[in-house]
Structure 1
Amino acid sequence: MSDEDLPTHLCRLGLTRREAEVYVALLATGSGDTGDPPDEPGPDSQAHLAHLRRIGLVTVSDVGGFRRHVPVEPTVALEFLAHSRGAELREAQQAAANAYRGYRRSVSPHPTDNLVEVVTGDSIIERIETIEEAAESEVLRFDSPPYHTHGSPNPIEIENLGQGVEYRVVYSRSAVQNAAYYAVNIQPSIAAGERARILPTVPVKLTVFDRRLAIVSMSFVEAEVNDSMLLVHPSSLLSALTGLFETSWRAALPMHLGERVPSALSPIHRRIVELLATGVTDDTIAELLGVSRRTLSRHLEQLNSRAGSVTRFQMALHAARNGWI
């Protein structure tokens, strides 16, 4: 950087052009008396020097019986100027943003502003956990892979269920077919009190908390190019998403059997009836139960015998009519 550039840089830190020139002149000549500084004969010289003294760039020293203005080491003063300038820029930025919001409200209003928030990257999991921990009464969820949490257990849901928060979850078939996810997440949640149902597919990856905030996550295809989620705040969009869940909930098949299951039905048969209602394949049922296909076939024969059925359809009718599902 040449000396000719220094006044310009000092001006960027908040000095006026004349103050910068006075400081540069003092650096060039070494000192100036308390009268007119070098190259500064005008009546405002003392005011410029006084400001340079206040910010710590110049001091007054006795040299040979004369009081002279001399430059001082500038690091502290320049840091002060830089911080001050930064604060002024932030204030200006805020003022501009406030002015634009005022414009949008008065000149070009958009009622949907701030109703949808985009969360990306590493902060996604933290935001999900923070929001779910704050749930007070009800959580509605469409559950389908892929998962931001990589299909791990959800201890927050288990804790919330224990504190009386109601969970209603509609699972996609692909979620139930994932044996690892079923074992560590779905089954423990149902055992803790989650009300679960299933559809072949869910319309969107969605969780609604207390009907006041919704999380919309990306699908398989979207997640490949955009690891993000949307937070939807109270609005007609949130109401529509909640309505979509309720419609799908009514159409979905229950995944847990509750008090209506005859006590004579063994635990393994309860699980089989539950999984049959989800529509997953026999191979998936055997994998989820941890049994062979041959063992599963034997249990299915026993269920058919109990229901007096020959086909799956007949057994399903018997299960529905007798409160098994």
Structure 2
Amino acid sequence: MLTDLGLDGSADDVKAFRYLASVPSASTRDIADALGCPLATAEGIVERLATHGLMAPVSGGEGRWAALPPEIALGPRLTRLRESTRRAEVALAELGEAYRRERGSSPSDLVEYIDGPAQAQRLLEIQSAAKESLWAFQTGTNTVTSVASTVTMEPAAPPGLENRVIVDSEFLTEPEAVRALNDRLSLGHQVRVVDHPLMKLAIADRSVALVRTSPQRTMMIRQPLVVLACELFEATWRRARPYLRDDSGLEPLDRQILQLMLSGLTDTATAHQIGTSPRTVQRRLRALMDTARVTSRLQLAWHALRNSWI
């Protein structure tokens, strides 16, 4: 969690913060006992969490600490990271456009523009040629290929191919989006979700990338320009959340409902995606709220994130 936000921290730091969030306050010794670690280790954890603004000393409680709301301590940093990603996306598109203007469209160009139906064919070509990695952003209305075919159109992956996909909230509203993502998981693909809009992007073997610049046009970039696309993907991946954690202890249907709720889908849209009724969605969310001992969906979302339900 901390490293995803560009902060120095370990898994024990996250465990310590989660422990502090579950109690009114705790001493360094309490933290050491909760984590089963030496006191000196707990002291280092306390120092790091305090430096990051995730905890503060309790007034009048000598030697005791209390957790601070993460949205207050880390919210501004997350906002800056999102803005940095947005600027990188704009810079990538502007750089490609500037290169095209300056160099024209000769066969030796590092940038090539593909229009209309040829976009789907070029996407299939780079997927077929991938030997080591295939990374993608998926978002919004799919005009080149339908959501249902985003998996089935992909060729059989060679052994060891790293297949990573990041989707945004708009993608999750598309028909059959959940089925397509579940198919990816069954094939061993890694899938993560972000709440801010993405551009359409596909990168093969870190050597060639397709970037959608408009519904009718896609820009293909090669080395060394593709490095920018790789850095954008990696930065977004680090702060994206996993799609359907398998270590949450929840039923798969509940994990899907929580994921779609966090992405902003209505009960009706969620029911349509998972093939059930809005009443069933509401009933299961109510049961999750009872389990978490909360009274609102906002509190349920915070509990789900804090307790690794999603």
Tell me how far apart the structure 2 counterparts of residues 158 and 278 of structure 1 sit (CA, whole Å).
30
Question: After superposition, where does 1:7-86 map in structure 2 within 5 Å?
Answer: none
Could you tell me how far 1:132 is from its partner in structure 2?
A: 0.1
Tell me how far apart the structure 1 counterparts of residues 120 and 165 of structure 2 sit (CA, whole Å).
19
Could you tell me how far 1:148 is from its partner in structure 2?
A: 1.0
Q: Out of 189, 194, 200, which is 1:194 matched to?
A: 189
- Whether the 8 Å CA contact 2:178–2:274 is kept in 1: the answer is no
User: Between Structure 1 and Structure 2, whose CA radius of gyration is higher?
Assistant: 1
The answer for the alignment partner of 2:120 in structure 1 is 125
Q: Out of 242, 248, 253, which is 2:241 matched to?
A: 253
Provide the secondary structure at the position in 2 that maps to 1:159. Answer: coil
Q: Out of 157, 160, 163, which is 2:159 matched to?
A: 163
Provide the secondary structure at the position in 2 that maps to 1:202. Answer: coil
- Whether the 8 Å CA contact 2:127–2:204 is kept in 1: the answer is yes
Could you tell me how far 1:109 is from its partner in structure 2?
A: 9.5
Please state if 1:228 is matched with 2:217: yes
Please state if 1:174 is matched with 2:170: yes
Provide the secondary structure at the position in 2 that maps to 1:217. Answer: strand
TM-score by length of structure 2 reads 0.59
Please state if 1:209 is matched with 2:210: no
Provide the secondary structure at the position in 1 that maps to 2:276. Answer: coil
- Identical pairs, percent: 28
Please state if 1:134 is matched with 2:119: no
The answer for the alignment partner of 1:88 in structure 2 is none
Could you tell me how far 1:299 is from its partner in structure 2?
A: 0.6
Question: After superposition, where does 1:90-109 map in structure 2 within 5 Å?
Answer: none
The answer for the alignment partner of 2:41 in structure 1 is none
Could you tell me how far 1:173 is from its partner in structure 2?
A: 1.4
Aligned residues: 205
Could you tell me how far 1:116 is from its partner in structure 2?
A: 0.6
Could you tell me how far 1:298 is from its partner in structure 2?
A: 0.8
- Whether the 8 Å CA contact 2:168–2:198 is kept in 1: the answer is no
Gaps of 5+ in 2: 1-101
Could you tell me how far 1:190 is from its partner in structure 2?
A: 2.5
Tell me how far apart the structure 2 counterparts of residues 243 and 168 of structure 1 sit (CA, whole Å).
14
Tell me how far apart the structure 2 counterparts of residues 122 and 313 of structure 1 sit (CA, whole Å).
43
CA RMSD of aligned residues (A): 2.6
Question: After superposition, where does 1:257-276 map in structure 2 within 5 Å?
Answer: 257-258=245-246, 260-262=247-249, 265-276=250-261
One-letter amino acid of the counterpart of residue 230, structure 1:
M
Provide the secondary structure at the position in 2 that maps to 1:179. Answer: coil
Provide the secondary structure at the position in 1 that maps to 2:176. Answer: helix
Could you tell me how far 1:212 is from its partner in structure 2?
A: 0.5
Higher relative contact order (CA 8 A, sep 6+): 2
